[in-house]
Amino acid sequence: MIESPRRGRARGLVLPLLSGALLGATFQPWGLAFFAFAAMAPFLVALHRIAEARERPIGAALRAAYRTGYAAGAGYFVLLGHWFVLLDAPQLPHRVVMLPLFALLVAYLALYPALFAVLVVLGARRTRIPFAFLAPPLWVATEWLRGSGPLGFPWGNVGYALAASGPLLQSAAWVGVNGLTLIVVGANAALAAAVTLRSRGRARAAAAAVVATAAIVVALHAAGAARLRAHPPAADPPTRVAIVQPNIPSSIKWDWEFKDRSVDAIARLLRRVPPGGVALSVWPETAIPAYLHDERGYFKIVKTLIAGTGAPALFGFPDTEVTPDERVYYNAAILVLPDGTEAGEYKKVRLVPFGEALPFQSIFPALRHVDFGEADFTPGTEYTQFEVPGIRFGVSICFEAIFPEMTRRLVNGGADVVVNITNDAWYGRSSSAWQHARMSVVRTVEDGVSLVRAANTGISLVADPYGRIVAESELFVETLLVVPLDPRRVQTFYARHGDWSLKLSLALSFLAVAGALAPIPFVARRGRRDS
């Protein structure tokens, strides 16, 4: 029986789909981080074969690459972000509606691996650059596109798969998370090249590629382990912090009739803080669901609680102010001293698209009047630096922690500690809360600073400048963590020199794509152009 071309194409997409799903599995709390070094290989093998099939016209090859990349992207983002369907909040649509919304989200995100696939096949067909050298920078470039602009969403960039491996994570001190992505994709590309070499009968070259790849990964792991041994945890840090995890369910978090419940939970936990025993207490994002600058009664209660601890408190709340044109709202964090002084405020700069604001409102003002149930916050513009005795710190709110350039900006502005406050109750018991926490820990290694993370329902934690978890909470348990904090800053190459691996990847990608599109014979492989 002759198989139809359409059916044959569909069957050929199964392996890339499974390859993407395996990559997504490395972001789950299942201990599969090492599989990231091989998960993409089947997908890349498929692309390599498309690029090598020179009897196929270039247009047909690019269409095949697009389908292959889209299938791999769909598998990747379905497993990575399956928690989207499980989001739990009364403001969100019913889960029957969430399923098609998730399908739309995956359909959008899968465009980026599809773009990568098209570019890598184009480059392999029309330049002299080997496939294994094209793939890593082009993947980093397309991930950068996914994380940029008003719709930017760098959740699950491939380098984050190594966040659960302390030794492998140490490389981030030099190369950042984008450099980790280069390493992971490079290993996968080398394995894909080995498969291609073996299929051509070059078994020794294939074995050499596999051995070299394994040796590099083992060497990076060994170097990271050595770095951790050379810098053991501080024996007796001079500072302690208290992290308040009130565990307020999302079903009542924004019900104004239950505001007192949030305050009561925080009050119970603060009563357990040893008087004078901490330098700072940290509460989660929107810990107090009240406009404190308007509702002075609530603010007075909060200040009384803080005075009882004898320590400053940093906490999240919704703020508002009146401009000449309108009243605007912010997702904010404020530092309040024991005497009631307001010692600084940070207004969230990077808002969650469609969750905290509709994108493109500055271009299409009519969107200001559209309501999909999202918050209507205005982004802040300043990266506030805070200081209490013994700690200089900057603040990120919620998913700002997964944007490396934001934390680096805080550190270069003088922060020795980064505080992240978040409300991950929306995620329920899915793997998303774990993913979010582990991605935020990558910032500690990149910038050489400790992290204090307070989450409404967990995971709250303290991590040292080498990414080691000093203490962390369980999900959905009312918790007070009183944890020693090492406020020393470790100088890192990444913090000093920035995201050089990203810049290098973008430059190489530009040159590769420009060379592939150049209409001159000498850029084409073997001195000819594909028709």
Structure token pair of residue 273? 């803080």
Could you please report the per-residue DSSP string of 426-478? GGTTSTHHHHHHHHHHHHHHHHT-EEEEEESSS--EEE-TTS-EEEEPPTT--
- Write the DSSP symbol of residue 491: P
Q: Is 467 left (phi over 0), alpha (psi -120 to 50) or beta?
A: left
Distance CA 406, CA 412 (A): 10
CA–CA distance from 279 to each of 44, 237, 483 (Å)? 51, 12, 11
Distance CA 218, CA 223 (A): 9
Active site residue 348: yes
Three-class DSSP category at 83:
helix
User: Which residue, 142, 78, 145, 154, is CA-closest to 114?
Assistant: 142
280-282 vs 239-245, strand pairing mode: parallel
CA–CA distance from 219 to each of 170, 467, 484, 515 (Å)? 12, 19, 32, 34
CB 421 within 8 A of CB 284: yes
Residue found under tokens 């369910």: 249
From 143, 253, 285, 303, active-site residue: 285
Distance CA 289, CA 307 (A): 20
Active site residue 326: no
Distance CA 96, CA 78 (A): 17
Q: How big is the chain by its Cα radius of gyration, in Å?
A: 25
Structure token pair of residue 225? 């382990």
- Write the DSSP symbol of residue 366: G
Structure token pair of residue 190? 């080398």
Handedness of CA 26, 27, 28, 32 (dihedral sign): positive
From 303, 398, 400, 472, active-site residue: 398
Surface-to-core class of residue 501, CB atoms within 10 Å of its CB (0-12 exposed, 13-18 middle, 19+ buried): buried
Please work out, in degrees rounded to the nearest 5, the angle formed at the alpha carbon of residue 163 by the alpha carbons of 440 and 403: 35
From 348, 356, 400, 446, active-site residue: 348
User: Which residue, 172, 184, 258, is CA-closest to 27?
Assistant: 184
Q: How many angstroms from the chain centroid is the CA of residue 306?
A: 32
The number of beta carbons lying within 10 Å of the beta carbon of residue 271 is: 11
Residue found under tokens 């073997």: 526
User: Which residue, 507, 498, 505, 506, is CA-closest to 405?
Assistant: 498
State the catalytic residues.
285, 348, 398
